Chains A and B, each alone.
Chain A
Amino acid sequence: MPPETDAEESPSFQIRPMSPPPAAQDPKGSLRSLELKASLLDKNDRLAERNRRYFRSRGLLALNLVSSPGAGKTTLLERTLDEFGLQVRCAVLVGDLETDNDARRLHRPHAPVAQITTGEACHLEADMVARGVEAIDLAGVKVLFIENVGNLVCPASFDLGEEVRVVLLSCTEGEDKPLKYPPIFKSAHVVLLTKVDAAAVLGFDVEVASRNIQRIAPQARLIRLSARSGEGMSEWYELIRSLGPKAI
């Protein structure tokens, strides 16, 4: 044992980083550096751009709905299809790891719906959306809702080709969630504070949550709503109309 005073200067253990073994076959023997500056999401970004061009060419408004599991995406869409969907033809693509439960909940005679089961993927990607769109009849459809996999982290990185990204925060979650998961809120065009009818009973402070949303996402339009009581729903429908092509 070395004296304690020397311990900091010469520890009793050693760390030797191993450099990579030399190349087995290295005909030129020269190390070359390549500047690439390529996006890691290049493939997804290109497919997303293609989706966007396709949606625009059809005069279709695509919205990507993102939230934690259980924030109320499907319930919001059920009511939206039953009210707004009767005036404007809507379609839904819904992503989950497994089951077609949500697609069955959303199925309406007047609204084509397709389920995308991602298996292991924790988010939707642009190619899944492209294939999902092929599975539904878009004739006359003006608004496409894409219900992403419930996840507040990963979907932030993946452009689906949507025109509008809608992030939901429900009153059953914490008021500080926007501060904890900033990337997704930073990327939002619209933030919906959902289940506001239950805020009082949950002890959820709507004002604090709204302030947190505005601090993280000052660019986003904020709507407080409840798909159960109907509060804020007409504001949501007006927003969709205002964002969509003129024909809506």
Chain B
Amino acid sequence: MHEIGIMSSAMDSVLAQARANSASRVHRIVLRIGTLSGVDPDALRFAFDVVAQGTPAEGASLEIETVQARARCPDCDLEFGVASGFIFTCPKCERLCSELRQGRELELARIEIS
């Protein structure tokens, strides 16, 4: 359950931003989470309810955008998406690739405040 720790540091940033912008309320929080980030979105949602309690972000809507993994084949210079699974086989030459272009994101994308 490292999601609680990740969510509480995210909440620190959210509340600091809200304070810096003289907002009294956080309405929406948007996260971008890569499928290879090692973080479970459901556990993040659960953690959010816990860490938001009693803060200006309590009751805010939490949106999680999933970022699908994309890899690159160095031989074909081809970037390709991986719909499911984590074996990155180049669709052109079938080489197994390790170069990840996206999919590890753990990002606080934006917030809505008032």
Could you list which residues of chain A lie within 8 angstroms of chain B, going by C-beta atoms? 20-21, 23-43, 121-123, 153-154, 156-158, 179, 182-184, 186, 214-219
Q: Is the CB of A40 within 8 A of B106?
A: yes
Q: Is the CB of B112 within 8 A of A32?
A: yes
Q: Which of B1, B37, B99, B108 lies in contact with A36, CB distance below 8 A? A: B108
Q: Is the CB of B113 within 8 A of A31?
A: yes
Residues of B close to A121: CB separation below 8 A: 2, 5
Does B67 touch A at the CB level, under 8 Å?
no
Chain B 65-90: CB-based contact to A (< 8 A → 1; otherwise 0): 00000000000000000000011100
B interface, how many residues as a size bin? 35 or more
Chain B 35-51: CB-based contact to A (< 8 A → 1; otherwise 0): 01111000000000000
Q: Is the CB of A40 within 8 A of B10?
A: yes
Residue of B nearest to A215 (CB): B87
Q: Is the CB of A122 within 8 A of B86?
A: no
Q: Which of A23, A34, A43, A154 lies in contact with B38, CB distance below 8 A? A: A154
Q: Is the CB of B107 within 8 A of A39?
A: yes
Q: Is the CB of A26 within 8 A of B38?
A: no
Q: Is the CB of B6 within 8 A of A157?
A: yes
* Count: A-B pairs, CB below 8 Å: 110
Residues of B close to A27: CB separation below 8 A: 24
Q: Is the CB of B21 within 8 A of A32?
A: yes
Q: Is the CB of B110 within 8 A of A20?
A: no
Q: What is the distance, in angstroms, from A232's C-beta to the closest C-beta of chain B? A: 23
Q: Is the CB of A39 within 8 A of B106?
A: yes
Q: Is the CB of A184 within 8 A of B106?
A: no
Q: Is the CB of A157 within 8 A of B113?
A: no
Residue of A nearest to B29 (CB): A36
Query: By CB atoms of chain B within 10 A, which of A158, A183, A216 has the most?
Result: A183
